[in-house]
A and B are shown apart, each in its own frame.
Chain A
Amino acid sequence: MASEFTKLLKMPKEQLDELYKSSSAGDIPQWGTHGVAIALPGSIFARLIACFVRLVCWQGKIFDSDEGALINKLSPLGIGGIKAKVYKDKSWVDGKETIVLDYSKTSFVAKKIRDEIREIKPGVYLGKVWWGKTPLIHFALVPESPDARLLYRSKAQLDELYKNSPAGDIPVGQTRGTAIFLPSTRTGRVLAKLARWIVWQGKIFDPDEGTLINMLTPLRFGAIKAQVYKDKSWIDDKETIVLDYAKTSFVAKKIRDEIRQVQPGLYLGKVWWGKKRLIDFALVPQSYIARTNEWPARIVGAAVIALLVAAGYLACRLNIDRPVTYASDEDHFKYGSTGGERASGIPYWVWRVLPELFPEHLPGPGYASLGFVFEGDNDLPVGVSKRDVQGVDRVFLNCAVCHVGTVRETPDSEPVIYTGMPANTFDLGKFQQFVFDCVTDEKFTPQRILLEIERIGGDMDWVSELAMRYFGIGYMRERLLMIMDRFTFVKKQAEWGPGRVDTFSPAKVLLGFDIMKLPERERFGVVDFPSIWLQRPRQGMKLHWDGNNTSVEERNRSASFGTGAFPPTLDRVGMKRIEDWLLDKQPPEYPFPINEALAAKGKPLYQQYCSDCHGQDGRNFEGSQVGEVVPIDKIATDRNRLDSYTHQLAMVQNSIYAGGEPGERFSHFRKTYGYVNMPLDGVWLRGPYLHNGSVPTLRDLLEPSANRPRVFYRGYDVYDQKRVGFVSNVSEEKGKQYSRFDTAVRGNGNKGHEGPAYGTALSPAEKDAIVEYLKTF
């Protein structure tokens, strides 16, 4: 058989076609056949392809003449599937008779396939395959070995065959055995294979002793002896070869077999238990067995398939990168991803259990106690986005966490959420500390965390769970410890408090600056979050509190580092959507009553004192000094933020986003020597005021610094309609502590932006009027 295939594989295509044409259709094959695919015949690749196909996908066809159909033996295990009708018809090659294998009505996947076969010599079929009308490859079929073909016969046919056969000669030496259960069924064929694998391999006949011994298990232990002699058959009383266990075996003593030689090299046997007929079996003497052992190859094939499937699954899974998406731009801003989860993401379920497992590291119940804003029944707060990375849902911060805040009219009102305003309640410093406290806690172990996830009903698939248990949680801990080490400088700063951040120290950390080796004056750059609406009119203005950058996009990419988005992980599509939306996002109107008469009085005062630097009104940013830097000596506000940004940092920032997407590299950062004049759109929501948030209300800002509050409280969102800003004298409400802000602390100075030119010398009535007018911005 193998030699037939080899010959065909060596023939060039023309010769195969010639051979096919010169052959007649022959008989339709019956029962199992071995098959070989013949692609690129005659070339060195033919045998390789044939082997590969045989190992992993197709071994041959099983014909059923009763049904006029066939099925293919597929997969390394030779599982039957893909049916075809079999009939004789005219060949597409030469119009003469041929055997057609027609898949069109019987198979969905192969419905465009049509095969033809002809018997090129007895028992050897050459076939051609078409896909639609396109000829594809050749293939060949030869019958399976005779013992295997017995499996396709019915019990009656087997009995018939037995009865019509002579006893034959007693076999000599080793024989291969095939147990025939449930004859002619697919189950029977599978059972036969299993029996061969696991239980019984055959018999060894010893002609000198007149006995045999069975070969059991794949290791072919010799056991269970029988006497072998010729005697009368229990079936038809004619001569047969009897295998008699009665005197030679204890376990099998009730067993008696008979065998007859049904053709040269093939014995058909019957088994009795006592007087009861059991199964049939076949024996093939060793000398008739072609020396091909296919099983090692098939096992390798199966292993290859299993590996491919596993690798394919992992490859698909490792490529998963799916942000949760939102239809509305505003929701995208609040909950959409900037890509930070890709490298910095906290697994969603870990995020969920941290407050459960480490309540002692939080100031109050849950994430809300850190000032996160929760909307409705959402499981994640505003400013936390979710993305499926590599099959694990991960969360991280986005822009909104620092740029969405809340306002209450009275302590009993429901908070109103405003997007784009400085996050007045969110304490980024405390959140950072909470995460650090968690990962350094001895409870931060895979066991504890996974147990807790299970307790709160977390659903993770087993791959994720394994990955988390043996890698994810340890990795997260290690990474955060590394970051924590680099953020040691934060501990030297006074608590930031809600609504504030040290803007540029993280950039220094990223670039490998050892912050603690920097001069002290460069280490205290803590400032207020700004509002981020109406970016279009700000394009080209000097941005950031000190005006160190003139590119809105570059400023945004710089800020997005805070959301964990690095050059390789930034979600450029998600970011662009936020960016575009912010260009024209309007600041919210002042929601409380405005004294129009008073505001009207304030307008000319504003124009006289403020508009050159701060624009004509809340939408018109014209003014000779708007967006320009006022030298520090002149503005005289706290200089720590200014000093924290150095020429040296600006130099090295030039290599941020370098080497990646063209046009993204930072090139607009400049050292400045003062603070920038901001437009005042939506200024009512931007308190506390000045870059460091050291003056709680607009009315306070119009006082000379000596009269401004020295100590006040931040993070409280009840609005102060009189002084314009947030109520700043509440240290505690319903058990929640608010953040004490001491202007004597380094970086918190509330001096500057004062003197007659800044309106601090105006009369109280005039100041009230300006403040009233600013409500309209």
Chain B
Amino acid sequence: MAKNSLARAEKKIALLAVVGAVAYIVWFGWYKFFREVEQPAFASEAERFMYGSMGSEDDRGLPYMIWLALPRIFPEYLPGPGGYASLGVVWEEGKELPAGFSKKTVGFDRVTNNCAACHTATYRTREDQTPIVVPAAPANTSNVQEYIRFLSDCAGDPRFNADVILAEIAMIKKLSWVDRLIYRFLLIPLTKKAILEQRDQFAWMNREGWADWGPGRDDPMNLTKYFMTEMPTDDTIGNADFPSIWNLKLREGQSMNWAGETLSSRAVIIDSALGLGMPPTAEWVKRMEDLDAWLKQLAPPKYPMPIDEALAGAGRVVYERACASCHEMGSEYVGTVIDIAEIGTDPERLITWTQEAADIANQVVKDLGVTRKNMVKTNGYVAQPLDGVWMRAPYLHNGAVPTMRDLLEPPAKRTVVFYRGYDLVDAVNLGFISQGAEAERVGFRFDTRERGNGNGGHLYGTDLPQQDKEALIEYMKTQ
């Protein structure tokens, strides 16, 4: 009797010990790999836009310590000295991460990207000035392609191993013994594997003879095609400028994307966010709605330098005569697709998207259980409202024309080669300084003769008298 009860008690204790051990292991695994910690509260919606997580940590989260160590180990894979800053990312004073980069703890600190990576920019009005950050502006200096290539090159290097990376982390942070094991046997090899897989998925953009995106651009519809619809690689190239995404209330009812493939701002936000690796949860839908609401009312930045009001007034008259029918809100063509035969700009971006792609993409999104307006196939480019246009240079969908003045020249007289990614405002020509020693040192050499980079088309206003052009440029500063 006593023996029996004793044996039972002992079995109980043993069972409890086993259960306890298993529970601890489960808890430990959860704590180290899955424990989700809310990001610290953001001071403003703009901060949240620039540094908030989009929830893609599971899919795209880079371990923060590895992210910190990489540029110190592999500076040669960056475009120049300066760590991540050399990629032209926007980095506010005192902030831990550049805009467009989010840090969130899911088990361990993970870095992901958000909308601001492509939609936050800086400008300066003189060289001796700390850059001013404009959320929702086209990221004119950020070289997203080089960031992807940097990670790929690092992961492909034999030095991307636990010894080298842990030695560098040892100069940053003291990791516990357990964490070192976790990094050595899990995080470092898994990160390497994930980046290498991503490198293969991006192989199409590194093909011989394919024009680089350069700062401020990507290949949006091919990204959608290859990642969302998983269609096979084709030989199209559709490099296009990042658009501004402020003031979206203007765009209600208009066609979105350069060629008008998407029919509402919400749908663009949803597709872009899916592209960043966000899982479509209820929380996510809420975030999409918040984002859409905030971007709808976000005002475009005011031109930061003096404007000659009289000249601008004269420019308004020219604008109303030459431009308003397509670009003024409420006009006949604003927000509609202008046929390629009419607009005559580089067609490559248009060609990247097909009806088939649209159908598949719509199905994929539907299958995810997300409701949004369907994508379509068009045959031209959208005439856009010009809010904050001074901050949206270079111009045309592919950013092939550096300044407003250049855009008002006939294509034959437009600049053939210029430099992108230098954020000094060009008050004379309206746009950013795109020539000269500093622009060359900092910027990316943009050759309009490369495929997809054509600077032809949009001949409107090119035949205006010189003083009308001057006036029009001045007026554009007021937009």
**Contact residues of A with B, CB < 8 Å?**
12-15, 42-44, 343, 508, 510-515, 517-519, 566-568, 631-632, 647-652, 654-655, 658-660, 665, 667-671, 673
Contact = CB atoms under 8 A, between A and B. Distances in A.
A407 to B, nearest CB: 38
Contact of A12 (B7, B68, B83): B7
B371 interface: no
A552 B85 CA distance: 25
A670 B83 contact: no
B170 A42 contact: no
B14 A43 contact: yes
B173 A517 contact: no
B174 A513 contact: no
A660 B174 contact: yes
A670 B75 CA distance: 23
B172 A671 contact: no
Interface in B1-22: 2-3, 6-7, 10, 14
B172 A659 contact: yes
Contact of B80 (A13, A517, A668): A517
Contacts of A567: 171-174
Contacts of B479: none
Contacts of A511: 71-72, 83
A345 to B, nearest CB: 15
Contact of B65 (A648, A654, A659): A659
A698 B170 CA distance: 46
B235 interface: no
B208 interface: no
Given A14-B3, A508-B81, A568-B173, A650 B71 contact: no
B86 interface: yes
Nearest to B126: A673
A652 B172 contact: no
B82 interface: yes
Contacts of A659: 64-65, 68, 109, 172-173
Nearest to B11: A43
Given A659-B65, A659-B173, A513 B94 contact: no
A647 B130 contact: yes
B79 to A, nearest CB: 10
Contacts of A343: 170-171
Contacts of B75: 512-514
Contacts of A512: 71-75, 83
Given A568-B172, A670-B93, A513 B83 contact: yes
A409 B305 CA distance: 59
A550 to B, nearest CB: 11
Interface string B422-454: 000000000000000000010000000000000
Given A566-B171, A659-B64, A659-B68, A654 B91 contact: yes
B80 A652 contact: no
Task: Pick from B81, B96, B97 the residue with the most CB of A within 10 Å.
Answer: B81
* 7 closest residue pairs by CB, A with B: A568-B174, A512-B72, A651-B91, A513-B81, A667-B94, A512-B75, A652-B83
Contact of A650 (B7, B65, B93, B129): B93
Contact of B68 (A648, A655, A673): A655
Interface string B94-125: 11111000000000010000000000000000
A660 B172 contact: yes
Contacts of A649: 82, 85
Contact of B94 (A566, A647, A658, A668): A668
27 contacts: A12-B2, A12-B3, A12-B7, A13-B6, A14-B2, A42-B6, A43-B14, A44-B14, A510-B72, A511-B72, A512-B73, A513-B75, A513-B82, A514-B75, A514-B76, A566-B171, A567-B173, A650-B93, A652-B85, A655-B97, A659-B64, A659-B65, A659-B68, A659-B173, A667-B94, A667-B95, A671-B130
Contacts of A651: 82, 85, 91, 98
Nearest to B89: A651
B84 interface: yes
A105 to B, nearest CB: 36
Contacts of A42: 6-7, 10
Contacts of B94: 654, 667-669
A652 B10 contact: no
Nearest to B65: A659
B6 A568 contact: no
Given A567-B174, A651-B85, A659-B173, 11 more contacts: A14-B6, A43-B14, A513-B82, A514-B75, A519-B441, A648-B82, A652-B82, A654-B96, A659-B64, A659-B172, A660-B172
B200 interface: no
Contacts of B96: 654-655, 658, 665, 667
A749 B81 CA distance: 27
- The bracket for how many chain B residues form the interface is 35 or more
B4 to A, nearest CB: 9
Given A568-B170, A568-B172, A670-B130, A43 B10 contact: yes
B234 interface: no
Contacts of B131: 647
Contacts of A652: 82-85, 91
A567 B76 CA distance: 25
Contacts of B72: 510-512
Interface residue SS majority, chain A: loop
A340 to B, nearest CB: 12
Query: Which of A44, A649, A651 lies at the interface centre, i.e. has the most chain B CB atoms within 10 A of its CB?
Result: A651
Among B2, B7, B76, the most chain A Cβ lie within 10 Å of the Cβ of: B2
Contacts of B68: 655, 658-659
A671 B94 CA distance: 11
A280 to B, nearest CB: 49
A620 to B, nearest CB: 31
A652 B96 CA distance: 9
Given A567-B172, A660-B172, A660-B174, A654 B81 contact: no
Nearest to B94: A667
Contacts of A654: 91, 94-97
Given A14-B3, A568-B171, A659-B109, A673 B128 contact: yes
Interface string B156-176: 000000000000001111100
Contacts of B129: 673
A8 to B, nearest CB: 15
B473 to A, nearest CB: 29
Contacts of B85: 648-649, 651-652
A9 to B, nearest CB: 14
B83 to A, nearest CB: 4
A647 B93 CA distance: 9
A517 B81 contact: yes
Listed residue (B65, B109, B171) with the most chain A CB atoms within 10 angstroms of its CB = B171
A356 B171 CA distance: 32
Nearest to B168: A512
Contacts of A43: 10, 14
A14 B6 CA distance: 8
Contacts of A13: 6
A44 B6 CA distance: 14
B52 to A, nearest CB: 18
B81 A660 contact: no
A568 B168 CA distance: 11
Contacts of A658: 64, 68, 96, 172
A716 to B, nearest CB: 38
Contacts of A517: 80-81
A244 B94 CA distance: 98
Nearest to B131: A647
Contacts of B173: 567-568, 659-660
A649 B93 CA distance: 11
B268 to A, nearest CB: 30
Task: Give the most central of A566, A654, A670: most B CB within 10 Å.
Answer: A654
Q: Which of A12, A566, A669, A670 has the most CB atoms of chain B within a 10 A radius of its CB? A: A12
Contacts of A510: 72, 171
A514 B81 CA distance: 5
